[in-house]
Amino acid sequence: MSLASRLHRIAVVGCGSSGLAVAAFLHQAGHEVTLFERFTTPQPLGAGLLLQPTGLAVLARLGLDRAICERGAPIRNLYGQTHKGTVIFDLSYRLLHPDLFGLGVHRASLFDVLYQNVVRLGIPIHSGHTMITTRLHADKTRSLSNDAGEDFGPFDLVIDASGRHSKLCESAADVRKDTPYPYGALWGVCRDPGQAFARDYLLQRYEAARVMIGTLAIGKKPGGTDDHVAFFWSLRTRDYQDWQAQGLEAWKDRVIRYWPEMAPFVAQLERPEDLTFAEYGDKSLHRWARDGLVFIGDAGHAMSPQLGQGANLGLIDAWTLAQTIGSHTDLPEALDAYNRARLGHLRFYQTASQWLTPFFQSDSTLAAMVRDLLFGPMCKMPYLRSEMVRTLAGMKTGLFSQLEPADWHPRHQTNSRIETS
């Protein structure tokens, strides 16, 4: 923290990865941080996700990357093909550095590592409070109110990390766009002993843009010893009820027709409840921070997970916010600096995920044809290939600009500087 910075009373709403990370950074910088969470027992939702080198570098700043790497599964390659065998993606993180990788993790493992850290730091957590509004007072402090009408505060800063359906966002944000996608996905977790099937890989299979199946090695659940894969099946939101009504067996046959090697995994799914349906949406704000209130993570910029960036972006928000607060004496100036610091990176990934999603999850035959014709050859062109890997690695801040994860921690170094100097 810079000598010039002041200490603040800070409320963080939401114990997801963004909220737990920002609470830890700001507590370590000496601020008085309080976490609020709607669940009585904070818990993760969902199956697995891919942490990028950017997100891992932020976790390294918290001293947590090694702990998470012990539980997750390193992913070095992304490979996607149509059910007829046309290669759409064949990319490797190694293109940027021989040791570079993403990390497939069980959400429960990521949550556990971040949550235990917050508990160890002694940050107070008020659980069982659904926060619905925040009020700005004449002295520029803020209070928070829950759905039972209780007030909390005053705080110098409220950080909303309560996810895509944030209630505070509904009442207090400058929303630019908040639109659901027509397609979401069913997600589940299956055992993959010894990581025999998906070691090192995020694998996808497509038919047009209507069918997308994927697997991601995610390592171990907290306390477990078995390796797992996260499995997903793309589905139109409006078709979810029909899918439930049809029963699992007909659907399993479909999966196996597209991808015979999936048979041992879908055999592990016994009831429709073994899969969770996740809706996707696109949300963006005109600005993320003002008047003692900041929206980080999905509360400020939810997007389709096509590029596997959401959790990473939230972790980077957390680190950047702690940095900008630490380097300014004046909180409003720090918040302006935060808006500027995040603009390029967030807008790039919001635009890229909006642009890319219809090629993989839509009813457009044309988009799928263009994808099948162009994406494979593009992966072979050296410049485009490395730009695609940088995009996947979470590094892009604009069409011709990028950040370097090693600026946050040298363990997550890429060769970008060497290549561009």
Ligand X SMILES: Cc1cc2nc3c(=O)[nH]c(=O)nc-3n(C[C@H](O)[C@H](O)[C@H](O)COP(=O)(O)OP(=O)(O)OC[C@H]3O[C@@H](n4cnc5c(N)ncnc54)[C@H](O)[C@@H]3O)c2cc1C
Q: Does 389 bind ligand X (CB under 6 A)?
A: no
Query: Which one of 311, 334, 389, 395 is in contact with ligand X (CB under 6 A)?
Result: 311
Q: Which is nearer to ligand X, 211 or 328 (CB)?
A: 211
Q: How many residues bind ligand X (CB under 6 A)?
A: 32
Convert 187-209 to b/e letters by CB count within 10 Å (16 or more is b).
bbbbebeebebbbbbbbbbbebb
Q: Which is nearer to ligand X, 59 or 328 (CB)?
A: 59
Q: Is 240 helix (H, G, I), strand (E, B) or coil?
A: helix
Query: Which one of 34, 117, 312, 324 is in contact with ligand X (CB under 6 A)?
Result: 312
How near is the Cβ of 275 to ligand X at its closest, in Å? Answer: 11
| Whether 282 contacts 350, CB under 8 Å | yes
- From the list 61-69, 113-121, 297-305, 403-411, the region that binds ligand X by CB under 6 A is 297-305
Instruction: State how far Cα 319 lies from the chain centre.
Output: 15
- From the list 3-11, 90-98, 309-317, 353-361, the region that binds ligand X by CB under 6 A is 309-317
Judge if the upstream peptide bond of residue 182 is cis by omega within 30 degrees of 0: no
Q: Does 102 bind ligand X (CB under 6 A)?
A: no
Distance CA 374, CA 244 (A): 35
- From the list 160-168, 204-212, 219-227, 403-411, the region that binds ligand X by CB under 6 A is 160-168
Tell me which residues in 27-56 interact with ligand X (CB under 6 A).
36-39, 46, 49-50
DSSP string, 342-369: HHHHHHHHHHHHHHHHHHHSSS-HHHHH
- From the list 16-24, 72-80, 193-201, 374-382, the region that binds ligand X by CB under 6 A is 16-24
Distance CA 406, CA 412 (A): 5
Nearest to 159 by CA among 20, 360, 7: 20
Q: Would you tell me how many other CB atoms lie within 10 Å of the CB of residue 179?
A: 10
Rounded to 5°, angle at Cα 252 from 247 and 255: 135
How near is the Cβ of 64 to ligand X at its closest, in Å? Answer: 15
Q: Does 243 bind ligand X (CB under 6 A)?
A: no
Q: Does 214 bind ligand X (CB under 6 A)?
A: no
- From the list 158-166, 287-295, 342-350, 403-411, the region that binds ligand X by CB under 6 A is 158-166
Q: Which is nearer to ligand X, 317 or 372 (CB)?
A: 317
Distance CA 51, CA 309 (A): 8
Query: Which one of 80, 163, 188, 219 is in contact with ligand X (CB under 6 A)?
Result: 163
Q: What does each C-alpha distance from 355 to 2, 256, 279, 282, 359 come to in angstroms?
A: 40, 30, 18, 11, 8
Q: Which is nearer to ligand X, 1 or 279 (CB)?
A: 279
Query: Which one of 5, 10, 11, 17 is in contact with ligand X (CB under 6 A)?
Result: 17
| Whether 331 contacts 139, CB under 8 Å | no
- Interacting residue ranges for ligand X, rule: CB under 6 A: 13-19, 36-39, 46, 49-50, 130-131, 161-163, 167, 185, 187, 278, 297-298, 305, 308-312, 314
